[in-house]
Structure 1
Amino acid sequence: MIGKISAFVFGLAVLSASAGEVSLDKDLLPLFQRSCGTCHAPDSGIRGAIKGGAFFNEKKDLLGKVGGPIVAGKPEESGLVKVLAQEVKFGKKELVMPPPKSDAPAFTAEELEKVKAWIKAGAKDN
């Protein structure tokens, strides 16, 4: 019985460690660089993608969006989540990011959940 209990407790420890806090540096920044940075970097030369400072290639770019399209603690109200989930419409057109013409991969459901978890935890500089 002791062996079963310790295996159960060890299993919970592994589960809680893997379900830890999402890191902007380690977990999210590489995803944003992969899927957004090609167009949304200051040196991309894509005027529409960088209009109004729509940069998403560096940590400071993402943290600069907290209070705007990133609503700390509220992923369901964050425009960034809606864009990544491809749920934003302008009239009859949808805003799909990354655009279909781009070679950049869209965020998977699992990756989008990481973004939501980071925002829900307060969109911290971690």
Structure 2
Amino acid sequence: MVYSAVCCWMASWLGASGGVQAGEIDFNRDIRPLLSDKCFLCHGPDEQTREADLRLDTQAGALTVIQPRDSDSSELIRRLITDDESERMPPPESNRALSKEQITLLQRWVDEGAGWGQHWSFAPLDAPEVPKVDDSNSSTSGDRVAPIRNPIDAFVRARLAREGLQAAPEAARETLIRRVTLDLTGLPPTVAEVDAFLADTEPRAYERLVDRLLKSPAFGERMAWDWLDAARYADSNGYQGDGERTMWPWRDWVVDAFNRNLPY
């Protein structure tokens, strides 16, 4: 039973991790999300739904079938590569056979130590050093790259340099206001708003534009989209009789929560 449980875990993890490139495999990035999505229902903290008495939401539980830094001695690996179909995991009838690349990826993770890692949301905040980059070829106009205005720009520019890429030129102001307005409100700017922004030649014109959009009621409406979609929000049943549902108070509360900047 334990090995059947392992099958559930491994099929889900490797199914989405086969594209990890060379380099150390990161547990939080490559493994934990898949465990949560695919395995915790049957092998997580809920005793009522847990199968085979195997917990894969804890390091101790997962290590019952893994020998860190020794994939050859890990029962998990043996079950994945065995020619005995009665022992192979995942079972052939599950139609979740792992590719050679996925099995190799799993072996790499085990041989690297099967690192677990703290969930990012509980990790201490870290303030990395802002990279120093050459900003001498930047300009707010013409074909030269956009200047660095904040630490995020510096990190992006440094990564582009490592990849041998060059930052794009500064966007035209007409393009800039359209992009940021769509991003923050989901609506295009009006002609009057575009004209006002183009006429504002002060150094902090863009910052004032962003502040205005953040204070707009449309900001909360735009930010609420994803939350309402995740909850499958609808004003009616949407099927057969399509009866009305009194759901709008919750919708308005979510919108208002964003506009009032309530904490999560």
TM-score scaled by length of structure 2: 0.29
1:83, distance to aligned residue in structure 2 (A): 1.5
1:32 Cα offset (Å): 5.7
Q: Which has the larger radius of gyration?
A: 2
Distance 1:29 1:37, change over 3 A: same
| Counterpart mapping for 1:82-121 below 5 A | 82-85=78-81, 87=82, 94-103=86-95, 105-121=96-112
CA distance in 1, matches of 2:94, 2:40: 9
CA RMSD after TM alignment: 3.4
- What is the aligned counterpart of 2:116 among 118, 122, 125? 125
Q: How far has the Cα of 1:78 moved from its partner?
A: 0.3
1:116 Cα shift? Answer: 1.0
Shift of 1:41: 3.1
- Give the Å deviation of 1:123: 1.1
Structure 2 residue corresponding to 1:69, chosen from 50, 65, 68: 65
Aligned pair count reads: 96
Q: Does 1:41 align with 2:43?
A: yes
Deviations 1:51-108 (A, max 9, x none): 2x2344x4x2x55232x321111000000111122x175xxx62122223325x2222
Aligned CA distance change for structure 1 residues 84 and 74 (closer, same or farther; 3 Å): same
Instruction: Using CA pairs under 8 Å that are at least 6 residues apart, name the structure with larger relative contact order, 1 or 2.
Output: 1
**Cα 1:110/1:71, change in 2 over 3 Å:** same
**TM-score, normalization by structure 1:** 0.54
Query: Which structure: greater strand fraction?
Result: 1
CA distance in 2, matches of 1:63, 1:88: 29
Gaps of 5+ in 1: 1-17
* Contact 2:54 2:61 (C-alpha < 8 Å) held by counterparts: no
